[in-house]
């Protein structure tokens, strides 16, 4: 890798194109694909466990003797644990390696489901979902860190997007198949089985997954101290590319999640007068849209990294247009309008992968896990607060979904404005690095507004 004045270049590219940060190679081995396949299966299991409670709600209400409000606490707790653990997970991955963290994730996931299967009280059920949320939180950042180590930059976004698409298979498995299993075998056998299968997969990870490619040196991992931990997170946060990735993830990822995890069904049933069966079928558009759009979008970005931010901006502009149509429609919205609208909004998940590519490009390998965790927090923060805002507005407006869903539009506008700010600052940072003779992760053309920004005190400080 190119060096200047004894310092390693902070970026991840060479004159021929993106390279693997672990080895400097521009090729991918079959061993890397086997390692990824073993790791991505852990993510598939995590998504399955994450969404499994969605079809078990009626049985859970009967088993624990609780109502709808108490059932909602299960989801809030799990998402809260997930979001709060993203930055610590990134630090743990950088310190101990993704292989060990994936093993820990499987242990928490499996034990959480076993505990849920045996639980008879509401408190113990909450504890089980909290344990499961902890295992879920450890998974995605670990897989992304493995991709950064084993694949060159031109394939990073493609493989990361494919990872997200495969995760949706876990979502599908947690619908009809799990429903049939619960109706047939019952609560205890179902959750004990899926928990024990998950625990058994630990052996596969131990045998197949390796933190770095064969022959590559292991990264230097210093002991994690509280002060050093805070400093590492702060250093990652101060990198303009990390901050840009955070806002990309914040703005693109949250809206589809708000609809699929909480408010999509009430909007379609109560707001649009659809049956539950029809609404459930319509929401699968988000699943298939993400599964098909992820690899497609990842392939385009992998071949043309300079298109990352234009595509993110294009998605946000299109999303605002979609919401203008949905919320401005007079009367019930036809299915012929809802299907393409949901299909486009579903691309927010694949588009959020751009944030992880930015974290990878602008941070050294030993800090990629931390930076990825920082980025991953963005979308979940937005999803949590947007979902709460929609609920508050629904209560204030007496169930008016058109007014309540304006909260999503507000978060889109706010996130897009912050993304624009940090896009410009990241460009200024790149031009400053280019002036110092450093190799850049992406070649960009200077615009007039780049010149004006470069003269500002903020840009000069960076």
pLDDT at 2 over 50: no
> pLDDT tens digit string along 201-246?
999 999 999 888 876 666 666 666 666 677 878 888 888 889 999 9
Dist. CA 369–CA 358, nearest whole Å: 12
pLDDT at 73 over 80: no
Domain ranges of the chain: 25-212, 232-462
pLDDT at 24 over 50: no
Dist. CA 369–CA 321, nearest whole Å: 35
CB of 294 closer than 8 Å to CB of 162: yes
> pLDDT tens digit string along 429-456?
777 776 776 666 666 666 665 555 544 4
Q: Tell me, what's the pLDDT at 295?
A: 77
> pLDDT tens digit string along 138-167?
998 899 889 988 888 677 777 887 888 888
CATH architecture for the domain at 25-212 = Up-down Bundle (1.20)
Dist. CA 172–CA 176, nearest whole Å: 7
Dist. CA 175–CA 281, nearest whole Å: 11
pLDDT at 181 over 60: yes
Phi, psi angles (nearest 5°) of residue 3: -125, 155
**Which pTM does this prediction carry?**
0.72
pLDDT at 104 over 90: yes
> Residue 359's closest CA among 174, 273, 235?
235
Structure tokens at 449: 């507004």
DSSP 404-443: HTHHHHHHHHHHHHHHHHHHHHHHHHHHHHHHTTPPPSS-
**Mean pLDDT of the region 315-319:** 95
Q: For residue 284, give every residue at least 6 positions away whose Cβ sits within 8 Å of its Cβ, in sequence order, or none.
A: none
Determine if residue 5 is left, alpha or beta; phi over 0 gives left, psi from -120 to 50 gives alpha, anything else beta: left
Dist. CA 104–CA 91, nearest whole Å: 14
Kindly state the percentage of the chain with pLDDT values over 90: 30
Determine if residue 273 is left, alpha or beta; phi over 0 gives left, psi from -120 to 50 gives alpha, anything else beta: left
pLDDT at 313 over 60: yes
pLDDT at 291 over 50: yes
CATH number of the domain at 232-462, out of 1.20.1580.10, 1.10.10.60, 1.10.10.1400, 1.20.1250.20? Answer: 1.20.1250.20
pLDDT at 386 over 60: yes
> Residue 286's closest CA among 312, 253, 238?
253
Dist. CA 438–CA 152, nearest whole Å: 19
**Mean pLDDT of the region 114-138:** 92
Phi, psi angles (nearest 5°) of residue 260: -80, -30
Dist. CA 5–CA 22, nearest whole Å: 22
Q: Tell me, what's the pLDDT at 194?
A: 93
Dist. CA 230–CA 88, nearest whole Å: 10
Can you say whether the dihedral through the CA atoms of 207, 212, 216, 219 is positive or negative? negative
Domains 25-212 and 232-462 share a fold: yes
Q: Tell me, what's the pLDDT at 30?
A: 84
Q: Tell me, what's the pLDDT at 316?
A: 95
Phi, psi angles (nearest 5°) of residue 409: -60, -40
Burial class (CB in 10 A: 0-12, 13-18, 19+), 204: middle
Dist. CA 158–CA 454, nearest whole Å: 32
pLDDT at 122 over 80: yes
């Amino acid at each position: 890798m190119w060096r200047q004045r004894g310092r390693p270049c902070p970026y991840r590219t060479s004159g021929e194109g993106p390279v693997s940060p672990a080895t400097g190679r521009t090729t991918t081995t079959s061993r890397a694909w086997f390692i990824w396949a073993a790791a991505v299966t852990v993510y598939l299991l995590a998504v399955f466990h994450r969404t499994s409670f969605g079809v078990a709600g009626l049985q859970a209400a009967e088993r624990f003797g609780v109502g709808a409000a108490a059932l909602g606490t299960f989801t809030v707790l799990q998402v809260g644990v997930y979001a709060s653990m993203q930055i610590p997970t990134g630090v743990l991955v950088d310190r101990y390696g993704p292989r060990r963290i994936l093993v820990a994730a499987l242990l928490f996931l499996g034990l959480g489901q076993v505990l849920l299967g045996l639980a008879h009280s509401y408190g113990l059920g909450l504890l089980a979902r909290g344990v499961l949320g902890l295992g879920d939180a450890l998974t995605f950042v670990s897989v992304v860190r493995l991709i950064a180590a084993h694949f060159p930059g031109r394939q990073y976004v493609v493989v990361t997007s494919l990872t997200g698409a495969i995760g949706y298979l876990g979502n599908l498995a947690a619908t009809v198949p799990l429903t049939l299993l619960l109706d047939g075998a019952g609560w205890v056998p179902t959750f004990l089985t899926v928990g024990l299968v998950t625990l058994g997969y630990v052996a596969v990870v131990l045998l197949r997954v390796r933190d770095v490619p064969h022959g590559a040196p292991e990264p230097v991992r210093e002991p994690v101290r509280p002060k050093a931990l805070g400093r590492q997170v702060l250093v990652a946060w101060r990198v303009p590319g990390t901050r840009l990735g955070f806002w990309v993830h914040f703005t693109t990822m949250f809206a589809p999640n708000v609809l699929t995890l909480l408010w999509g069904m009430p909007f379609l049933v109560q707001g649009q007068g659809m049956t539950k069966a029809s609404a459930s079928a319509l929401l699968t558009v988000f699943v298939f849209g993400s599964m098909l759009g992820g690899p497609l979008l990842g392939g385009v970005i992998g071949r043309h990294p300079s298109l990352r931010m234009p595509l993110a901006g294009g998605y946000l502009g299109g999303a605002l247009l979609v919401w203008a149509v949905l919320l401005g429609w007079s009367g019930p919205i036809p299915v012929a309008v809802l299907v393409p609208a949901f299909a486009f909004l579903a691309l927010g998940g694949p588009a959020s992968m751009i944030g992880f590519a930015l974290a990878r490009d602008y941070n050294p390998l030993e800090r990629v896990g931390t930076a990825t965790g920082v980025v991953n927090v963005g979308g979940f923060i937005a999803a949590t607060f947007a979902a709460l805002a929609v609920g508050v507005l629904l209560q204030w407006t007496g169930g008016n979904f058109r007014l309540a869903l304006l909260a999503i539009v507000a978060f889109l506008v706010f996130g897009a404005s912050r993304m624009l700010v940090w896009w410009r600052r990241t460009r200024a940072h790149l031009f400053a690095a280019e002036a110092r003779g450093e190799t850049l992760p992406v070649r960009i053309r200077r615009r007039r507004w780049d010149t004006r920004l470069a003269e500002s005190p903020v840009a000069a400080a960076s």
